[in-house]
């Protein structure tokens, strides 16, 4: 469950409709430590138009950059300004 303390970021993106594209986006969100709060999407020709709201304690800027690296993410912007918080103290194994 999401704790309400974590700030939310709203992304608007176009995702390719190639096999695996949506899974790729969801995987990056999960692995980089964010939770999906809301996801709406609609297929238009060969892309999905999507609005994605995520929350998490890590800086959303890093998630934005990770998502931008995906070839299947055609366009991506954060609607609210992702804060440029200092990187968190990560636990080491």
Does 66 bind another protein (CB under 8 A)? Our answer is yes
Task: Give the count of residues interacting with another protein (CB under 8 A).
Answer: 25
Cβ 52 to another protein shortest distance, Å: 17
Nearer to another protein, 3 or 89 (CB): 89
Could you tell me the CA-to-CA distances from 74 to 13, 29, 89 in Å, in that order?
7, 16, 31
* Binding status of residue 31 toward another protein by CB under 8 A: yes
Q: Is the Cβ of residue 4 or residue 85 nearer to another protein in the bound state?
A: 85
In angstroms, the Cα distances linking 75 to 60, 67, 93 are 16, 10, 35
Q: Is 27 in the site for another protein (CB under 8 A)?
A: yes
Residues 6+ apart with CB under 8 A from 72: 15, 16, 18, 20, 21, 24, 25
Token couple for 50: 């999507």
Residues within the interface to another protein (CB under 8 A): 18-20, 23-24, 27, 31, 59, 61-62, 65-66, 68-72, 84, 86-87, 89-93
């Amino acid at each position: 469950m999401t704790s309400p303390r974590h700030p939310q970021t709203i992304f608007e993106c176009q995702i390719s409709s190639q096999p695996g594209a949506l899974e790729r986006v969801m995987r990056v969100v999960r692995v980089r430590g964010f939770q999906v709060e809301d996801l709406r999407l609609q297929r238009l020709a060969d892309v999905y138009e999507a609005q994605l709201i995520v929350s998490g304690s890590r800086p959303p800027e890093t998630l934005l950059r990770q998502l931008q690296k995906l070839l299947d993410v055609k366009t991506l912007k954060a609607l609210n300004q992702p804060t440029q918080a200092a990187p968190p103290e990560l636990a080491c194994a």
